[in-house]
Structure 1
Amino acid sequence: MTSLLPRLLPALDRFNAAHPWDHNAHFHPWILRQLPRRFGSALDVGSGSGDLVRLLATRAVTVHGVDADPAIVALARELTPAANTTGVTFTVADAPSGIPGGSYDVITCVAVLHHLPLADALAAFRDHLAPGGTLVVVGLARQQTPVDHLLAAVSAPLNAATGWLKNRGRTSPAPRPLAMTAVTRPADTGFPTLVREARRILPGARLRRRLFWRYTLVWRQRPHGDGDVRM
């Protein structure tokens, strides 16, 4: 069995490359389920090509996307029709220091937090979240514990099966390079550390390991400033 692994893993990589799918977009419907039906303002940190921003715009009055990559911000603007998405803006900025001032009813951050200084980013999200607002993070953590490795082992065949189904069994070209710029570095912080730091800065935050090498964090700012959970 062990001797099969060196041949099996490259074959699985080739299969996944031929049947690609967007792991982050997979969580977009789940993100929307954590949010109110309507809200005033939203901020998406690390907005990439703007897919989540455009979804948030179906519920929000204004949505602001920030990303450090000028090329992908330009792509997001190109892909966002002004006639159908009034109130949507994109800005080139480094997070957390470059987060636009003011407060937001919703803040989202997908597959970006592991690129940022963890404590500073979480504190900035907290400080920019309006009373009663909701923070939703989908992130990547370093595999350290037996549970991490078990979920990764389960995710591997499910990833291949999902790619096969989403592509209807056909091979598909890989996503354009610009859409992949957000995933440039593996996570170096383990999930237990993430939980401790998040709950220190965001009391009451709920974090869960997920399939497909992701975790989720949900936190709601109470009107008096304390944290509570909205699931």
Structure 2
Amino acid sequence: MTTPRSGLLLALGRFNAAHPWDHNAHYHRWIMRQLPRGFGPALDVGCGTGDLARLLATRARAVDGIDRDEAIVARARELTPPDAPVTYGVTDALGELPAPSYDVITCVAALHHLPFTEALTHFRRHLAPGGTLVVVGLWSARTPVDHLLGAAAIPLNAATGWLKNKGRTACPPASMTAPVRPATMGFAEIVHEARRVLPGARLRRRLFWRYTLVWHQE
């Protein structure tokens, strides 16, 4: 039997499916505000169709975008102008990276696909002195505050989808059709482990089931 609450959630689910929007791209401009006006080589981990890599290229000397999905990397190459200083590769984020070090490393909605501690340690090792690591990740709801934020995000998610699509039914962006895996770490666990690996890291819980992490290499 469908209850009023479950009926509402089903209706919201149908509405959101008809008015999709990219929750990760929502944070791209915020990411750019964490970075210098100009910098050397940059790495975008889990680059998808390359939206953030191309944005980084407006300030970076060169950008490496890496992803394990061959089809989505091929699409990123198609979407990137030939004169843009961006190179894409089908690469394991924990394997050998295209360059030994980077002034900027970004990782959006990809860290929960990787061994958390190992990945942060790997990124720290490849971040140049004075470099910046920026992560936008997913957290799993564990606490009353988590569930409250999740509940608050549901109507905002629907309203944002409506506004971004100007009320029209739309198809999901290509970056939203790649296989995904749910997050398993709670925010408190993420903060504890991140600060153990990256002392002084700044983490914040965000709307739309995301958190942010910023860390500067000494």
Normalization by structure 1: what TM-score? 0.91
The match for 2:140 is: 142
* Pairing of 1:43-62 with structure 2 (within 5 A): 43-62=43-62
The match for 1:103 is: 101
2-side partners of 1:162 and 1:119: how far apart? 33
1-side partners of 2:12 and 2:6: how far apart? 11
8 Å Cα contact 1:123-1:201 kept in structure 2: yes
2-side partners of 1:29 and 1:154: how far apart? 22
Q: Displacement of 1:147 after TM fit?
A: 1.0
The match for 2:180 is: 184
Aligned residue pairs total 217
User: Is residue 128 from structure 1 mapped to residue 126 from structure 2 by the alignment?
Assistant: yes
1-side partners of 2:96 and 2:48: how far apart? 15
Normalization by structure 2: what TM-score? 0.96
* Pairing of 1:57-96 with structure 2 (within 5 A): 57-83=57-83, 85=84, 87-96=85-94
CA-atom RMSD in angstroms:
1.3
8 Å Cα contact 1:108-1:137 kept in structure 2: yes
The match for 1:228 is: none
Determine which of 139, 149, 152 is the counterpart of 2:150. 152
2-side partners of 1:98 and 1:22: how far apart? 29
The match for 1:226 is: none
User: Is residue 39 from structure 1 mapped to residue 35 from structure 2 by the alignment?
Assistant: no
Could you give the per-residue CA deviations for residues 26-69 of structure 1, whole angstroms, max 9, x where no partner exists? Answer: 00000000000000110000001100000000000000001011
The match for 1:17 is: 17
Percent pairwise identity: 68
Q: Displacement of 1:112 after TM fit?
A: 0.2
Could you give the per-residue CA deviations for residues 146-175 of structure 1, whole angstroms, max 9, x where no partner exists? Answer: 111011000000000001111111111233
User: Is residue 171 from structure 1 mapped to residue 178 from structure 2 by the alignment?
Assistant: no
The match for 1:213 is: 209
2-side partners of 1:12 and 1:92: how far apart? 36
Structure 2: runs of 5 or more not aligned: none
Could you give the per-residue CA deviations for residues 192-218 of structure 1, whole angstroms, max 9, x where no partner exists? Answer: 111111000000001100000000000
Q: Displacement of 1:179 after TM fit?
A: 4.5
2-side partners of 1:186 and 1:127: how far apart? 27
2-side partners of 1:88 and 1:170: how far apart? 33
